[in-house]
Amino acid sequence: MIVAYFWRIEPVAVPYAIFAMALDRFVLHRSSNVGFYKSLGTGKGETFTPADANALRWGLIAQVNDVDEFDQSFIVKKWRKNSVEEFRAVLEPISSHGKWAGKEPFEPTVKDWEGPVVAITRARIKWHQNFRFWSSVPPVTLSLKSAPGLVSAIGIGEAPIGLQGTFSLWESAAAIKNFAYKGAAHKKAIADTATYNWYAEELFARFAVKDMRGSIS
């Protein structure tokens, strides 16, 4: 099972968040309940530059054996204690294409899902392509924000530059498909990707939302 958390914090808790981003991985790595995991910063998801960053919202995505156990783990409790708002989604993979940090972390286990869907896109951008990529992003993000069926979307990243993506919540899988294959801006971005080959690594995954609490709007 995949679990995704996003926490909103007060400015006074920013030092804690930076500290936790650096050290949480040592605890997660030793946990027998946790497989793949990533601690994440977040942003507006509009330009995918450092100017997008939101220092008051942070995230964590993990593959876990026991969701309830992880929900009461040291890591989650510490974030919860330092937060004013928490979003949690329990997810099962519908499809996944590509790699994240050299791994294929999401093995599809669900078919014919009719409910809400989360999409995660993530890419490692080649350094010499950053400026070209940034110039191509705004039309896509504008079309994403107004896409029919979109509930909410935020930018996610493992670093201020070069390791960026989106976490989006949709009413259905059909809504994602319509955005991906019918939107002019998104189709142009796909064509530009093929032309300029600006990703060193990329991943696109869709998930069935099995349980959800809180909001990321």
- Write down the domain spans for the chain: 2-212
CA 19 to chain centre: 20
pLDDT at 162: 43
Give the model confidence (pLDDT) of 139-153 as tens digits.
456 557 778 888 988
- Alpha helix (H) ranges present in 46-172? 67-71, 74-81, 130-145
pLDDT digits (tens, 9 = 90+) for 104-142: 889 999 988 989 999 998 876 655 555 555 555 544 565
| Helix %, strand %, coil % of the chain (to 5) | 35, 40, 25
Q: pLDDT digits over 49-68, tens only? A: 566 678 899 999 999 999 99
Which residue bears the tokens 């793949």? 36
Q: Is the pTM of this model over 0.85?
A: no
CATH of domain 2-212: 3.30.70.100
